Structures are given as C-alpha cells and as structure tokens.
Structure 1
C-alpha cells in the first residue's frame, strides 16, 4: 500500500558516507598490513617468493575493492568508482588498476589509474577478475572487469626495506592493530546495524509507536543516531498517515452507503415514474384501453409476424351507433361514461394473450386478434356486439334499438390482396362501412370486395 510518506533524509551526503569511508580505509589498511607482514616473513626468501607474495597482495586488494566497485557500478555511482580507484591506486604494490564497465546499450567504459613512472613488467602477472553484483538473493550480474598490474619497483624496494625491519616487533604491532580495528568496528557499527534490522523486521501497524533505541553506543550524534532518528520520524509520520487514511476510508464508506441508498431510492422513483409514463403513453386516458399510438405499434409488429410465420391475423373495427345523438341527448358526461362501459365490455371479451383492444377515435374501437382467422374473428365480433347491447345503456335517440349498440367490421389478413398494414386496416374499415350501411347493430365481414 502506498502510504504517501517520504522517508526522512539522514543528514548531508558527506555525513552519510563517513561510516563507509572508515570501513573502506580500515579494510584497505588491514590488507596492506597483511601484505607487509607477508613480505617481512618472506624477506629472506628468493625473488620468486617475493614475486608470489606481491601477487597474493594484489589478489587481496581485488577481493577488498571488488564488492564496493561492483555495487557502485550497479548503482551508476561514477563518483564512488573514482574514489575507489584513487584509493586503490595509492597502494604501493599496484602499478596500474583498470576498471572496464560493461554497458548494455553502449561501448564499454574504461577507468584507469596508473602510478607515475610505472612501466609494464612482463615477468609479473596481470590479475583480471569479473565484477559481479548480487542485487538480490540467488542472482549474479556481471557489471564489468577489474584488471590489476603489479609494481615491480615496489617489489625491489620491499626486498631492501624488509631486511632493515625488525620482524618480530612489526608483526606483533600489526596483529594488535588489526584485532583492535575489527573489535572497534564490531562494537560501534555491526551490532547496531543488526539492532536496526531487527527493529524494522518487527514493525507492523500495531508497533509503529515503538521507537528505535540503539543500546550502549560509544559515540553520540553520528550516522547511526541519524539513522535511528530517521526511522523513528518515518514511523511517526506513517502512523499518522495510516490513522488519517482509516478515518477517510470510514467516512468514504459511510458516504458510499448513503449514496447507494439515495441512488436506489431515486432509481425506484424513476422506474415507477417511467412505468407510469409508459402506461399513460400507451393507454387511452378516458377508457383505460390502449390508445391509437399503441395500436399502431402492435399492428405493425403483428402484420410482420404474420408475414413471416403465415399465421392468421384478424382485425375488428367497432363504432357506437348514433353516438353523436347520444351526446346531444344525454350530455358529454354521459357520453364519456358510455365510452368507458363499452370499452370495458370489449376488453372483457378479448382477454387472450396478444389481443389488443384500443380506442382510435371518438366512438371508434379496434381489436387486433393474432392467431384467429376471419371465422373465429366473426364469432368474437358477435360476442362483442352482444356484450355491448347487454349493457342496457339507454339510447332513445338511436334508430336501431332502445339501448346503445355497435356496428362491427371484420377483416382477416389475406397477404396476396393486402400488401400493407394500411390495406389490411382499410378492408376492415370497408366492412364497418357496410355494417353501418346495412342497418347498424350488426357484424359484417370483408369478402374481398374492392
């Protein structure tokens, strides 16, 4: 998880590098002392023994500086590379040191330090070693090559000097110095670094408040103290950040729940409103049956389905007889009530799935009957006519009956003769016209007349 906390810096770059410099100097001096001791021990031996000792010393130097050089090259720290080369070049036993840095996408980069006045000596071997760095466990990356040339003049000078040095005194002093340096390094650095590593390994969100304390330090306010202070400051900031993040997450969760509830409520209201609007857009406001718009959509769909499947389809058109006279006699409120009762009777007779009863005009109703041929539609039309007449709505102004009646025209779909849905409707309308012309209160079927 990205905490957003930047670890504190532990002081200036120069201050951070002092422990590394001390470690490098102590290690180099220990190697130099070891080489000098080896040369003293072999002072009485022949030139070949001294030559072998010099080669061993250079190998020790390579072992010492190789990890630091490999790390500096891996981290692209050219300044550290130059520092290590300058330090190594000051060793008397070394005539020339060359570091070749391997670049993946460029020519090899060569860094060399050569002792003034030094010249190659074919009798002395040249030491070469690959610089290998392990960025993580079980990995080895070759970052370059280290080449070391021995200094023949130093070999000669050592031979003469070793004869004048008191072997026993030098050996005892050097051993005591090396032991003291190693003891000091372990006491002042290694133990505290292990404490820091153990403290960081035990960190968790629950232990962020526990401060890092270095035990029994010999010196105060050095790089290790800066490191401990930086770790403690980082823990403090990280703890505050995590607490603030937990607070924000709680608030965000509450807002999210409230928003989800509000969105759900608004969605339900919108769905109900849309459903109501859809019903209003498809229903006749007065009678409650389908309106002209819904009927037009359904007739197009059913006409195309009948074309594809060759299933029967019938259309019934009804018109209330002498409805204008009814309105003039009883008033428009009674006329509206009459329309509602007639629509209810029609809808009650046509309750199959797919049947559509619609009001398409003032007193005109249509019924779409999918799956019924004209004979079946005629029977349905007769039931519709009888149902309306059975309502017994008084109509003294009617010329055919004392109660409200309807005239009905029926047409069955005949695709060769009805090339469009409008032609289909026209045929049913023609049948209705014939029913009115024939005396009203009757059912007339379309028989293919023009």
Structure 2
C-alpha cells in the first residue's frame, strides 16, 4: 500500500510546475485522503473480520474435534473394555497424528489407568473437551473418559491465514478502486484544471479574446469545471469591455488634456485683452525668426506701433475706454496681417510689435501705412455720451541688418517710432522720409533734363 501511495504522489507531480513555488495538486490530495480513509476502513473491517474469523475457525475446530471423538470413542471403548493397554495407547497416539488441530489427548479409565499423548505446554493449553467412553453393547455404562485439548498454535495460524487472505483481497480491491479514481480524476479534474491554470498564466492584455477550450470529452456531462470555464469566459468579456471603455475614456481624457494644454499654452502666450501674443512668447519666438532670416539670407522687418495720446484717453474717458481702444486696435492688427507668417505682440501698455518674415523695409512700410489708414479711418470707440472716439497710431519700421542682434533691431524700430511721435503722430517712419526723398528726386529729374 505504501508503494501505491508513492506511485500516486509521483504520478501527480509529473510535469513542470506553472510557478516557481511548489504546488500540491488537488487530485493528489484527494487520492491521499481517500487512501488514508481506505486504510482506516481496512484496519477496522480487518479487525472485525479477524475476530469473526477467529470465532469461525474456533467453532470449526471444535466441530472437527467432536467428529474425531465420535469416530474414535467406539474403538477406545473396545480397547478399554478388553484392557488392551497397547491398543489404547496406540489409538491415542494415532488420534494426535491424524488430527494436527488436537494438541493433547488423555484417556482415563474407571480402573484408574491414564493414557496421554502430546504436550500441555505453551500454545497447547486450551479449553478441554471431554467425551464419555461407554461399555460396548451397554451405552449407559461408563468405563472411562476421553479428554482432548485443541492446539491453539494451529488455531492462530489458521486465523491469521484467513485474515491475511481477507486483507490481501481488501488491499487489491482498494488499489484497483484507487487506480480507477486516479484515471478518472486525471481526466476529469487534473487535466482541465492544469489547462485552465496554463491558459490563465498565458493571458496578456492583447489576447483576451482567446477562448478557453478545456479539450473535454464531448460525451461528458456539464459539471462545476464547466461552470468555472464559463465564468472565466464571462470575466474575459467583461475585462475586454472594460479595457475598451478605458481606452475610450483615456482617448477622451487625452483629447481633453491636449485641449486644456493648448488653451493653457494659448493663455500663457496670449494677451487676454487684445488677443495678440504677449511679451513672453515674443522673447521665446523672435530670436528664432532672426536666426532663420540670417541663415537663409531672407529679409525680416518689424513694426513698432503705439496708440497716440493714449494717456489722455485714460485720463479723460477712463481706463475702461482705454481697454476698448486697445482691444479694437489689437483685433484690427491681427486682421490685416498675413495669416501663417506675420504675427503681432502686445509689447507693453499701448505698444505693439508686428513681426514680418520674408518682408523688406519697403513692403513693411506699405503694410504699416495700410494699418495706419485702416485705424485712422475706420476704428472708432463708442463713448458713454453716445459720441465716438477716433483713434490714431504712430508706427516705426526697421529691417534686420546682417549680423544685427535683436536688441539693436528693436532699438532702431523704437527710434523710428519716437520720430513718428515727434513728427506729429499718426504717421509711419521712416516711410515719410522715404516718400520725401522720392519726391525730391522726381522733381530734380526734369530740371536736369532741361
């Protein structure tokens, strides 16, 4: 039985474990527990069977002894009646030789003679059986007694043999039953559960759609393992649906985050009053514009713009009206500039800077002049009394020179702005000087011809 248990344990430990930690298969545990209970049952029923067998063998011995006595007492009756001492002793000796179950025999006659055979020592002692020796032809007359003692060693050996046969039968039957249980449990429990464990261990987030197939016999009836497999399939579907929902939520949250970051970037780089870029973005972006223009030998111009008499507007009409003036001018500047290339910055207070890539000084002056006319002719701000406030601007234009740093370019444009302010406001510098120079050259050309 110990060999069977070892074989079962070894059989259920075949194969590489699914994890590093040792596991105890359910089937091996079930077989081990069944084996322990089977051994206890064998021990219990074996003890009961041994007691019953002992009683049965003892009864059989007594019946056999009585049969021996019934067949030998008539012969002893004749020998005792004839007082044939040799015949009596010979019959007593033959009685033990022919019946190994009898360990000791005694014949006592009425004349006081005693004839014995065997030994009353050790296992030979037992409950004696006495038989009356009657007178031949006179059954009622007693002439002696025959006493027989059963050999308990023979009784025990026979009992052990009978019990051993029963125990061997029980062990063989138990081994056969356990073997069938092993086969059934391996097919119906161990293989499906191990396949389920391997399937679960091999699952990844990208292969949740794989269905679990336990490879069970088509003829098997639906049981708890099928319920586990179906429940796991339901769990897969819910996890997959949850992942899809999470993906959608992540996509939505990502879009919201991108939108929020875009708005945050826009808020951090845009002046909220005018809608133009702020000074922070100008300091980040303008050096790159200068570097590209220098690297590709392209023209780049800037326009410095300042609202005329803006302090007087604030002092006279209030800061609310001043904010309306700045908002209207910012919207006008953004509308007139070229989309995708030009950009405008609120540099500070009522000052704006327009950056014009790929633009020479002459073209920049034309754009500045168009801006000046647009604002002077069309921009008005309503006042609280129903009247309208006309607004004008002064502009200074400068084109980048080779190797010129940013501060120098800004300084030149700022100087031209102050020149426009000092020249009477509502004008573009140095465009006014360029037009005066062109007028002088045009009038001098006919005189030279004459």
TM-score range, shorter chain: 0.3 to 0.5
State the structure with more CA Rg: 2
More helix by share: 2
What TM-score does the superposition give when structure 1 sets the normalisation length?
Answer: 0.48
